Amino acid sequence: MTIQNTYLTIPGLLNKEQLQQIDMLSARSNFEDGKKTATAAAREVKNNLQMDMQSQEYGMIQQILLQALNGNMLFRNAVLLKTIYPFLISTYRTGMTYGWHVDSPLMANMMRTDIAMTIFLSNPDEYEGGELELQTGSGTVLYKLPAGDAVCYPCTQLHQVREVVSGERRVAVTWIQSLVKSADQRKILTDIQEVIDELRKEDLISEPANVLQQTHSNLIRMWAE
């Protein structure tokens, strides 16, 4: 697990068996032009393929992904999920890319997009290029993680998927509305929870951990929407 500023990486979100199931279901699924789910200027820079969201295979993959998220305490503690958008299962083949863009602030039934999430479904050695690139005030950050790992980042970030030079990049992407709107406040809550967890490793009934847990709970009450 890595939390750097407001970026969160989650190693091993999907296990080997789950990845194999997703690969099997993807292999027999229909993929269509990804521009269908892009809006405004993003449509002009999007060049990928996405799984048919009406297919039975898509529904089965959706359940695998949601179960993985539900069972991951790091995700639950750091993201504080309120609403999640259906995953897009995307494929980038040689020459495909998704140029610089900002995600829509509202999706579906006026769901506010606070956090974007990419789950990598193929290993880095399966394709060349295809890095997720995020623009920050101090330069750009690149992500190209092992299959099963995920990265979460604020939807306010300008970002792109670099062109795939060879091979095939497979990912699952979604957007999340958090109970706590502010990325900085979510980071504070995650930091406190990490300290609580460390204290409880040494003493399950640690008094300092109990005090911090009370503070953590009260901050959620104060900040949650």
In terms of domains, do 101 and 195 share one? no
Residues 56-76: what's their mean pLDDT?
Answer: 97
Question: 171 and 195: one domain?
Answer: no
Q: Report how many domains make up the chain.
A: 2
Residues 174 and 187 in one domain: no
Residue 32 sits in the same domain as residue 141: yes
40 forms bridges with which residues in the sheet? none
DSSP per-residue string spanning 70-120: HT-HHHHHHH-EEEEPPPEEEEE-TT-EEEEE---SEETTTEE--EEEEEE
What is the percentage of the chain residues whose pLDDT exceeds 70? 97
The answer to whether residues 40 and 77 belong to one domain is yes
Domain that holds residue 31: 2-178
Averaged over 115-125, what is the pLDDT? 98
| Segment (H or E) for 30 | none
86 touches 125 (CB < 8 A): no
d(CA 94, CA 27): 18
Predicted confidence band of residue 5 (pLDDT cuts 50, 70, 90) = low
Task: Clarify whether residues 166 and 210 are in a common domain.
Answer: no
How far is it, in rounded angstroms, from Cα 184 to Cα 178? Answer: 12
Q: Are residues 169 and 188 in the same domain?
A: no
Q: What is the CATH number of the domain that holds 13?
A: 2.60.120.620
In a shared domain, residues 197 and 159: no
- The span from the CA of 27 to the CA of 170, in Å, is 12
**Claim to verify: residue 110 and residue 14 sit in the same structural domain:** yes
**pTM of the shown model:** 0.93
Judge whether residue 38 has pLDDT over 80. no
Residues 88 and 191 both lie in one domain: no
pLDDT in tens, 40-59: 777 889 999 999 999 999 99
How far from the centroid of its chain's Cα atoms is residue 30's Cα? 23
DSSP annotation of 133 reads E
Answer yes or no: do 21 and 80 share one domain. Answer: yes
Residues 172 and 103 grouped into a single domain: yes
